[in-house]
Amino acid sequence: MSLRSPGSPGSPGRPRGVTGFGGYVPRLRMERAAIAAAHRWMAPSLRALGKGRRAFCSWDEDSVTMAVEAARDLARGRSLAGVGRLLFASTSMPFADLQNASLVHGALGLPDSARTLDIGQSQRAGTAALLEALTAEGDEEALVVASDCPRGKPASTQELTFGAGAAAFTIGRDGVLAELLGHASVSSTFVDHFRSNDNRFDYFWEERWVRDEGYLKIVPPTVRAALAQAGLAPTEVAHFVMPSAFKGIATALAKALGLAPGVEAPSLDEACGYAGSAHALLMLAAVLEKARPGDVVLVVGFGQGCDALVLRVTEAIAGFKPGRGVAGALADAQPHDAYLRMLSYDDGIELEWGMRAEKPVKTALTEQYRSRGQLAAFVAGRCAECGTVQFPQLAYCVSPGCNAPAQGFEPVPLADIGCKVLTFTADWLSYHPSPPLYVGFVQFDNGARLLMEMVDVGSAGLEVGTPLRVAFRIKDVDKARGYPRYFWKATPIAP
């Protein structure tokens, strides 16, 4: 085990720091009691974990779609054109050999010149990405996104305690909301769990061993080194962000470190569950939503070693708000008690969907590339002659009597434009992984009108005029080749 604590973060001049943050948690929440009830015939002890709800991804959500939504929450409709680097952290990326960060890059419409990088294979991938961006040289603005949906084997404690979520941070030198005061890192071959390339689920070692020999021996010296670099005493920490799938770890570490009582940040367990490598950053985003100027935030990432970051909130925090933030995403919940729904969405059970489900969905990669300017970032075109906004952009204006050539179209991004239901239908006949299939015309505030799928409708249903927002999702999955195709869908706005 080696301890590394560089003398000074970043380059001389104005320090780099967090300049924006946002978060996302899937709307779908499974009642833990329903999971425990499904397994009580063989694992009655799971009943003790049956409190609260855990977030789970819909069939058309994954770490890429959540990452996009977290970054959009950060941006709140503002341009991310200044981002020169994108770091995407996850242990549940959909592709093993296709850069996942490039998919996030395309959906956000980032500059082609922006560098992209995937970071994974560890529960501290999120803190590693954040630390990498904070200590980088130069003035380049970076976007760090951590997104994860760890899997728990049916009837395991992980199935109840795991969740899903994502957090995004911009890092730069202008408008710093939280500055990096100190940091330290430890690298260790301590194996608390692992998952090989050919397995769906993690294998975990004994919890007491992980707590006593892992967390309680590796984390404290790392934190002390980070605090020493920052020139702070443990009692000056106002918020202790310590993610763990095990209960009581944060409290035990706070006591061992001599932190002030009650500084442990909310774990988000009751409404979300443990979101893997994204959980540290998700907790940090939640803390920054309520933090006050001068607050010191200690962030720890644990996994084959440890990262410890010491941040101080600045006066600029009062002028920044994410779109919904973690609090808003947690509040926007749809409770479910159909356990088999969660299994089906995660391919944990093979259902008989009938012959309608046998349709081929092979993606034409050539057309996907040629139309990437429209499809990835959902960009329509405005006719220079009559002002009609249309998607997709055809070779001519679709407005009757105009038919102007497409060369005069102005790009119009639709992802952040307000919209509402114009018409809709609930289709129980067509195959859909989450029946019924809601589809209809969506009217955008800028005049665009197009046929879209509507998701996460919930028990309230839809009405003409229901407010909608646009969300980045999986359109369909080519299971024969293992290729998910992404696009944009409409979803009701929570009242």
CA-atom Rg of the chain in angstroms? 23
Confidence at residue 343, expressed as pLDDT on a 0 to 100 scale? 97
Confidence at residue 13, expressed as pLDDT on a 0 to 100 scale? 63
Confidence at residue 147, expressed as pLDDT on a 0 to 100 scale? 98
Confidence at residue 9, expressed as pLDDT on a 0 to 100 scale? 45
Confidence at residue 164, expressed as pLDDT on a 0 to 100 scale? 98
- Tokens 């130069």 appear where? 138
Q: Which residues of 194-204 are buried (b: 16+ CB within 10 A; e: fewer)?
A: ebeeeeeebeb
**pLDDT greater than 80 at residue 58:** yes
**pLDDT greater than 50 at residue 492:** yes
What span, in angstroms and rounded, lies between the C-alpha atoms of 406 and 2?
60
Confidence at residue 132, expressed as pLDDT on a 0 to 100 scale? 97
pLDDT tens for residues 313-344? 999 999 999 999 999 999 999 999 999 999 99
pLDDT tens for residues 86-117? 999 999 999 999 999 999 999 999 999 999 99
Mean pLDDT of the chain: 94
Which amino acid, residue 256? A
Indicate the CATH number for domain 15-187+203-345.
Answer: 3.40.47.10
pLDDT tens for residues 348-393? 999 999 988 888 899 999 999 999 989 999 999 999 999 999 999 8
Give the CATH architecture of domain 356-378+414-492.
Beta Barrel (2.40)
Confidence at residue 77, expressed as pLDDT on a 0 to 100 scale? 77
Record the pTM.
Answer: 0.95
Q: How far apart are the first and last CA of the chain?
A: 51
Q: What is the mean pLDDT of residues 392-397?
A: 90
One DSSP character per residue, 261-321 reads TT-BPP--TTTT-B-GGGHHHHHHHHHHHH--TT-EEEEEEESSEEEEEEEEE-GGGGG--
Instruction: Determine contact, residues 220/257, Cβ cutoff 8 Å.
Output: yes
Confidence at residue 407, expressed as pLDDT on a 0 to 100 scale? 81
**pLDDT greater than 50 at residue 23:** yes
Confidence at residue 403, expressed as pLDDT on a 0 to 100 scale? 87
Is it true that 15-187+203-345 and 356-378+414-492 share their CATH fold? no
Instruction: Determine contact, residues 382/374, Cβ cutoff 8 Å.
Output: no
**Residue % of the chain over a pLDDT of 90:** 89
Q: What is the mean pLDDT of residues 273-292?
A: 98
Sequence ranges of the domains in the chain: 15-187+203-345, 356-378+414-492
pLDDT tens for residues 65-77? 999 999 999 998 7
